[in-house]
Amino acid sequence: MKDGFDHLQADVVVAGAGIGGLTAARTALEQGASVLVIEKAPEIGGSAAVSGGSAWTAANVDAWLSVQPGGDAAMGQALVDNYLDGVAWYESLGLQVEEQLDPTPYKFARYVHAFRPDSRTFMNDLAASVEAAGGTILTCTGLRSIQLGRDGGVAGVEARGGGRTVHVSAGAAVLATGGFQASPDLRARYFGRWAHHVIVRGNAYSTGDGFLAALEAGAGTAGPFGRFYGHMIPAPPAETGVHNFASVKPDFSQYSVFVNLHGQRFDDEFLGDEVTVHAVVHQPEALCFIIFDERVRKLRATGMGERPGAVDRRMENIRSAGGEILEAPDLDSLAAEMARRWGVTPGPLMATLDEHNAAVAADDLTMLSVPRSGGLQPLDSPPFRAIRCLPGATFTYGGARANERAQILDLAGEPIPGLFAAGADVGGLYTRGYTGGLSVGVAYGRIAGREAAALIRWE
């Protein structure tokens, strides 16, 4: 296509056709607004379409706050309430959502649902529902900027795709572009010097378009910007991608010992790698070495909070992907092999492991130089194993500052009229722990769609 300009018009323009954007679009249509969705990727779905299709969140705001220290309780309550509303609403549209029993004992009570028959089909069905209700979806069209009117409110957006600039006049805009984890520049800005080693395990098109456009429009920011939802991923030569991200993450890691290239512990392993991965990105070369013994393999193999054989399956998956798992008959030999193969400093490593075993023998967590909250077990059952990992990021926590009504706020904390966020573009919701990813798209998509349509009706 040759360079040109397209001028389009809608009541509400939605940037992003993932779970948050499509939910917002369909909700606004239901409320009587005309809606245009722009999507940078060649197909709809975002990270939701390549996910395992499991959506979940905490069962109540107290459970949510238990892993979100200092979190905004109103935003957490909105997440819980509107997630359940969204699940029921999907069913009313004829989409398939199946309630699940929590498969493993979790840290807190939660609601879990599965999209059926699979995540890709569910997202395609949701997109078809948007179009059947009169909405328009443009793929290969990425958000460039937000246009403000004389009153400081949204007047439209500018997008770019297929060699054409698209101007959309609209009284409200919903940003649902999926965070900025796929932008090397933004990762370097917010994750630090080793950010180039981060493996992107979410949508490759989520490069911060919504966040950057919101900043240009005068939005404030809300962190934490150095944190994200993700997991540890076997480092190269392992070959990982959307086809195996879920199957190679070391789910047993909270019962292991983590060290960095200097052979030192650096975080509380028992928090789970969806939290400790935040610390991994700041370690030398963003590397983490997970050390465990036969005891962990056997305990997890008998179904200790996992399906039987969980560790064996994970190790098999890691090896099949090309990942390295070192094995040795004693800790000294393991340390020597980690030094030879991976460059881990052996003296400090052995001091770290000796400290760990001494704390176990004394049953005294306070003996550890880096605190640990639980899961303390001796490293004394050969063979001993180690896995070399890098952090994998699915979506970012920092972004444009928002509130429980999905409104994006300016530097003074006041709503920018007509500007809303859904999904990972909602900045300031998560502070540390993880309480579901797709649920943020479900809940804040519903809120943003209602609020955007209500604004149009009021105007």
Contacts of 160 (CB under 8 A, 6+ apart): 141, 142, 144, 166
Q: Which has the closest alpha carbon to 418: 78, 151, 135, 166?
A: 151
pLDDT at 218 over 70: yes
Answer with the residue of higher pLDDT: 346 or 103.
346
When pLDDT is averaged across residues 311-329 and rounded to a whole number, the result is 96
- 114 CB neighbour count, 10 Å cutoff: 18
Measured on CA atoms in the order 274, 276, 280, 281, is the torsion positive or negative?
positive
End-to-end CA distance of the chain: 37
pLDDT at 83 over 60: yes
* Structure token pair of residue 280: 């991994």
* Structure token pair of residue 400: 């444009």
Identify the pLDDT of residue 308. Answer: 53
Q: Where residue 309 falls among pLDDT bands split at 50, 70, 90?
A: confident
Q: What percent of the chain has pLDDT over 90?
A: 91
Identify the pLDDT of residue 300. Answer: 60
pLDDT at 436 over 80: yes
Q: Where residue 111 falls among pLDDT bands split at 50, 70, 90?
A: very high
pLDDT at 459 over 80: no
Chain centre distance of CA 101: 22
Q: What is the 3-state secondary structure (H, E, C) of 1-32?
A: CCCEEEEEECCEEEECCCHHHHHHHHHHHHCC
| Beta strand spans in 260-383 (E) | 288-292, 325-328
Q: Which residues pair with 327 in a beta bridge?
A: 385
Give the whole-angstrom CA distance, residue 415 versus residue 451: 12
When pLDDT is averaged across residues 233-239 and rounded to a whole number, the result is 97
Identify the pLDDT of residue 304. Answer: 42
Answer with the residue of higher pLDDT: 408 or 297.
408
Q: Which has the closest alpha carbon to 448: 28, 15, 8, 7?
A: 28
Unique residue bearing structure tokens 């007509």: 418
pLDDT at 302 over 90: no
Q: What CA–CA distances, in Å, run from 44 to 125, 232, 351?
A: 11, 27, 51
pLDDT at 20 over 50: yes
Answer with the residue of higher pLDDT: 298 or 64.
64
When pLDDT is averaged across residues 191-216 and rounded to a whole number, the result is 96
When pLDDT is averaged across residues 238-255 and rounded to a whole number, the result is 92
Q: Where residue 202 falls among pLDDT bands split at 50, 70, 90?
A: confident
pLDDT tens, position by position, 146-177: 999 999 999 999 999 888 999 999 999 999 99
Identify the pLDDT of residue 162. Answer: 85
pLDDT at 301 over 80: no
In this structure, are residues 319 and 325 in contact, taking their beta carbons and an 8 Å threshold? yes
When pLDDT is averaged across residues 310-324 and rounded to a whole number, the result is 94
Identify the pLDDT of residue 174. Answer: 99
Identify the pLDDT of residue 298. Answer: 86
pLDDT at 104 over 80: no
When pLDDT is averaged across residues 270-282 and rounded to a whole number, the result is 95
When pLDDT is averaged across residues 112-134 and rounded to a whole number, the result is 97
Q: Which has the closest alpha carbon to 429: 78, 56, 34?
A: 78
Answer with the residue of higher pLDDT: 457 or 213.
213
| Predicted structure pTM score | 0.95
When pLDDT is averaged across residues 320-347 and rounded to a whole number, the result is 98
Q: Which residues pair with 233 in a beta bridge?
A: 390
Q: Where residue 307 falls among pLDDT bands split at 50, 70, 90?
A: low
